[in-house]
Amino acid sequence: MFSVNRLFQFWGLFQLAAFAVASDGFVKVDFDVYQGLNLSAALSGYSHISRRDGDGSFDVSLVNEKQFYVSKLQIGTPESEVSVLLDTGSSDLWVMSTKNPQCKDNGGSIDCEQYGTYNETASSTFHDNKTDFSIQYVDQTYAKGTWGTDTISLTEGLKLENASFAVADDSDSNVGVFGIGFKGLESNPEQYSNLPITMKEQGFIKKLAYSLYLTSAESESGSILFGAIDHAKYEGELATIDISKLNGDYAYLQIPLTSVSVEVNSNADNQPSDSSVPSTGSSVRSFNNSSPQSISANNSQALLDSGTTLTYLQDSLIQQVLEQADKNASYSPLAGAYTVSCSLRLPGNSMTFRFNDEKDIKVPLSDLVLQTGQDPNTGKAICIFGALPSNDIILGDNFLRSSYSVFNLDDKTISIAQLKQTNDEDIEVIN
């Protein structure tokens, strides 16, 4: 999630269902799934797809809805519970204040209580740093307030003392953000220890690192493992790639993307009967590209970002991919995406991303091709390609579901391997 290049067009909320107690050196938390055009609609049950430990480890479970990942935090004394978006693409934690005039309780239109608010004046352990906080996103939503410190519990087994965060007493957004990226993305002019750094400083983890495990689109589980790797969650070997600098500094979690290729082996005769490709009036064409050709990405920097729903690629790259996958694909200015045949969602079709000319991650096209509705005139299903045109390469959740990713901010590396969906665990602390 970026304050400089992110346009929010639909949101998903993953709300904590129950806490699990600390066990064997890590903590696992389960979540429920909601979806919608915004968080309010999500919690109202509105659903629509549209564009846009003792070991020194902690395991915080997530839930995947092809959008965003939200954790609940307990802040202050007495504790206030707030929901925040988990985001590898930013570095600050900010939460909603009870004083926000745009909340319904204060005469505004936002139902802040659904996601939780924090009353800094009611917390005996809050300290106001007397430093202004302000952030604005491309969609013009904003948050303003003040920086401070307080006690923060991510789970029952992880309580941080004097943790730094911002309290937004004026915002037209509807939920706070839990950024876990590099210090270089902090919005405060004076860099500080964000929550992951504070976890290390207070002895909860040994290394400023975390592993991200997002399961299939149909699953309601996943995990982020602070300070450790779960070797059961991937196939083959992890490839460790140096994070690329930006203007001489480490800011974004990005690595070189060497090339992409697409493999399509589908036709109307083997169309599945399940809902992945609608069988009634769906738009189905025959393809056969069993010998995919590599398409160079020129080792362009690719950002791995859990705060982005879809994937973003240069338009020229997308056009070359679709030339191989669906010659009849066409760009829709209204959707801001390419419309493609829904038959690309058939099993066996995939797109491979090659990184640093050494590691391949294969993504099912069922994760990259999204059904967005039906043509009102023909009744045929409408699908878009979930890689949208952009000047930058951002690999969002529809990529990360196929990649077991280990972000080591201390060593400035990202390790990736093909994700393996399993309930087994083989956890090793990162030293």
**If we measure between CA atoms, which residue out of 91, 86, 90, 75 comes closest to residue 223?**
86
Which candidate, 208, 75, 230, 223, places its Cα nearest to that of 154? 75
What is the pLDDT, as a whole number, of residue 400?
Answer: 92
Confidence at residue 26, expressed as pLDDT on a 0 to 100 scale = 54
Tell me the one-letter amino acid at 202.
Q
Instruction: Give every CB contact of residue 121 below 8 A, 6+ residues apart in sequence.
Output: none
Rounded Cα distance between 107 and 88, Å, is: 33
Burial of residue 249 (CB within 10 Å: 0-12, 13-18, 19+) is exposed
What pLDDT is attached to residue 52?
23
- List CB contacts of 430: < 8 A, sequence separation 6 or more: 57, 205, 206, 207, 209, 227, 228, 229, 406, 408
> What are the average pLDDT values for consecutive 10-residue runs of the chain, which has 431 residues?
38 37 43 40 28 40 46 93 86 95 94 91 97 80 94 87 97 88 89 92 90 74 83 98 94 97 68 41 48 90 88 96 95 90 95 98 95 83 93 92 96 98 90 87
Is 87 known to be catalytic? Answer: yes
Active-site choice (53, 59, 87, 326):
87
245-275 per-position pLDDT tens digit: 998 999 999 999 999 999 998 553 334 433 4
CA distance 357 to 90: 27
CATH number of 229-265+292-429: 2.40.70.10
- List the structure tokens of 245: 């600098």
Q: Which tokens in the block code for residue 348?
A: 């066996």
Judge contact between 309 and 10, C-beta under 8 A: yes
pLDDT, position 119: 96
Residue 419 main-chain phi, psi, to 5 deg: -70, 140
The ranges assigned to domains in the chain are 27-38+63-205, 229-265+292-429
**Domain 27-38+63-205: what homologous superfamily?**
Acid Proteases (2.40.70.10)
Residue 316 backbone phi and psi in degrees, to 5: -65, -35
Q: Check: CB of residue 362 under 8 Å from CB of residue 352.
A: yes
Q: How buried is residue 236: exposed, middle or buried, by Cβ count under 10 Å (0-12/13-18/19+)?
A: exposed
**pLDDT tens across 177-220, in order?**
888 999 988 988 888 999 999 988 998 888 999 999 887 666 65
**Do the Cβ atoms of 6 and 313 come closer than 8 Å?**
no
DSSP symbol at 321: H
Looking at residue 244, what DSSP letter applies? P
Residue 270 is classified by DSSP as G
SS3 helix, strand, coil % of the chain, rounded to 5? Answer: 10, 45, 45
Q: How many CB atoms lie within 10 A of CB 316?
A: 10
At 142, the amino acid letter reads Y
Out of 53, 92, 150, 305, pick the active-site residue.
Answer: 305
Q: Note if the bond before 78 is cis, omega within 30 degrees.
A: yes
Say whether 229-265+292-429 and 27-38+63-205 share the same fold.
yes
